[in-house]
Amino acid sequence: MISKAKTLLPLLALTLLSGTAFGQEKLKVGVMVTLSGPSAVLGQQARDGFNLAVKQLGGKLGGVETEVVVVDDELKPDVAVGKVKGLLERDGVQFVVGPIFSNVLQAIHKPVTDSNAFLISPNAGTSNFAGAQCHPNFYVTSYQNDQVHEVLGKYAQDKGFKKLFLMAPNYQAGKDSLAGVKRHFKGEVASEVYTPLGQLDFSAELAQIAAAKPDAVFAFMPGGMGVNLVRQYRQAGLASIPFLSAFTVDESTLPAQKEAAVGFFGGANWAPDMKNPQNEAFVKAYEAAYNSVPGTYAMQAYDAALLIDSAVKSAGGKVSDRNAVRAGLKKGDIKSLRGNFKMGLNGYPIQDFYLVQVVARPDGKFATSLRDKIFDNYVDVYAKDCKPAN
């Protein structure tokens, strides 16, 4: 025990010393994303996108010297709570940027918004925090989760598909996903299939699709599940049935899906080939720095840095003036990579949504590409339940 205490006490002393002195205006941002496990690539994209923005702004956000602390939430909500407390108290961060996954967001939302810091989510945007539980210290640079799924439902409806086959993993986000699709699609639902989370072989479901002969398939299969589903879908010879999806074919999965995904559809608020000068510069810089095509995760984290930058700037660089910073965040006055971007009253963006399609680029890489615009200035359906506190 003595030797244990000997090792433990310096460890604690060290953590005590590393707490920063408050007072001088210095900006500290904690980036909390998932960097371990099969979904690590999403977290890496977000981290890289954020770091790229900070680097391009000369290491300063809003003109204030900025230090970025990156932590891995391990996709374990209880671990995330402990680590976010570390960011807030030990590192004294004024902003937490994260997380990727909704279950982690549910866990860290309260500790962060209760503290002196702001929480900026570069990806997870759950319905509860968009509606009745909206919070003036919480902002989202992605979307309300349902909106992406709604894009495909609306598209299927507009396109006149009569019969849709729906599949999603058996968890809350999966159920929300299919509800989002059905909000706009009024035709027949051939079948709603929920697969166990983490299922990798979809042969059973593909056989059901072949038997049901739908006009189109909608799938929500993030990460490795999507990689497997897309490849097996093509291998099963089903590619003649249009494949509509959310979070299933994107820049995080395309390096593994490759040709198998070409022609498949997704919904998004952006794609790497969006035409505007700042986006073209971003994609070029990102690909040069990280040797991969950026996805929405990287774009939204980049925008999160821009959002912090604009808020701190509008507060005159006084990070400690929380009301001024909050006013800046509410304004959301940024030149977003996605072009049209306004901050809604609930802290979720008001933006356009597009149908995107997977293409093979001339350089041999794969990316999503913009097709039709499906929604203009789209406000999420929960925003009306949000009664801003101030």
Partner 1 sequence: MMIRREALPLLLFAFFALMPIAASFGPESYLLALVTRVMVFAIAAVSLDLILGYGALVSFGHAAFMGVGAYAVGILSSHGIKDTAIQLPVALAASAFFAVITGALSLRTKGVYFIMITLAFGQMAFFLAVSLAAYGGDDGMTLSGRSQLFGFDFIKRDRAFYYVTLVALIAAYALCRSLVVSRFGRVIRGARENPQRMAAIGFPLFHYQLAIYVIAGTLCGLAGFLMANQAEFVSPAYMTWQRSGELIVMVLLGGLGSLHGAILGAAAFLLLEEGLSGITEHWKLIFGPFLVLVVLFARGGLIGAVERLRGKGGA
Partner 2 sequence: MSLTLLYVQTLNGLQLGVLLFLIAAGLTLVFGVMDFINLAHGVQYMIGAYLAAMFTAMTGNFFLGLALALPSALLFGLALEFLVFRHLYDRDHLDQVLATFGIILTLNQAVKVIWGAAPLSVPIPDAFSGSIVLMPGLLYPVWRLVIIGSGLAIAVLLGILVSKTRIGMLVRAGATNANMVSALGVDIGKLFMIVFGFGAMLAGFAGAMVAPILSVEPGMGDNLLILTFVVIVIGGIGSVRGAFIAAVMVGLVDTLGRSFGPTLLRAIMDPAAASQTGRALAPMLTYILMAAVLFFRPAGLFPAKK
Within 268-287, the residues that bind partner 1 by CB under 8 A are none
Collapsing DSSP to helix, strand or coil, 57 comes out as: coil
Contact between 115 and partner 2 per CB under 8 A: no
Contact between 82 and partner 2 per CB under 8 A: no
**Buried b / exposed e along 225-249 (16+ C-beta atoms within 10 A):** bbbbbbbbbbeeeebebbbbbbbbb
* Contact assessment for residue 44 and residue 111, using Cβ atoms and an 8 Å cutoff: no
Q: What whole-number distance in Å separates Cα of residue 67 and Cα of residue 64?
A: 10
CB atoms within 10 A of CB 277: 8
Contact between 60 and partner 1 per CB under 8 A: no
Within 220-239, the residues that bind partner 2 by CB under 8 A are 224, 227-228, 231-232, 235-237
Contact between 377 and partner 1 per CB under 8 A: no
Collapsing DSSP to helix, strand or coil, 209 comes out as: helix
Among 116, 172, 323, 377, binds partner 1 (CB under 8 A): 172
Contact between 253 and partner 2 per CB under 8 A: yes
Among 85, 313, 342, 371, binds partner 1 (CB under 8 A): 85
Structure tokens at 301: 């984290």
Q: In terms of DSSP H, where are the helices of the chain?
A: 2-18, 40-56, 77-85, 102-113, 127-130, 145-159, 172-184, 203-212, 224-235, 254-257, 277-290, 296-314, 322-331
Alpha-carbon torsion 366, 371, 375, 381, what sign? negative
Binding partner of residue 147 among partner 1, partner 2, none, CB cut-off 5 to 8 Å per kind: none
Contact between 320 and partner 1 per CB under 8 A: no
User: Torsion-angle region of residue 258: left (phi > 0), alpha (psi -120 to 50) or beta?
Assistant: left
Binding partner of residue 19 among partner 1, partner 2, none, CB cut-off 5 to 8 Å per kind: partner 1
Binding partner of residue 120 among partner 2, partner 1, none, CB cut-off 5 to 8 Å per kind: none
Considering the complex, what minimum distance in angstroms separates the CB of residue 118 from partner 1? 18
Segment near partner 1 (CB under 8 A), from 24-32, 102-110, 238-246, 364-372?
A: 102-110
* Contact assessment for residue 129 and residue 108, using Cβ atoms and an 8 Å cutoff: no
Binding site for partner 2 (CB under 8 A): 35-38, 40-41, 44, 170, 192, 194-196, 198, 200-201, 203-205, 207-208, 210-211, 224, 227-228, 231-232, 235-237, 252-253, 255-258, 292
Binding site for partner 1 (CB under 8 A): 1-5, 8-9, 11-13, 15-17, 19, 35-36, 70-72, 74-79, 81-83, 85-86, 88-90, 92, 102-103, 106-107, 109-111, 126, 170-173, 175, 197
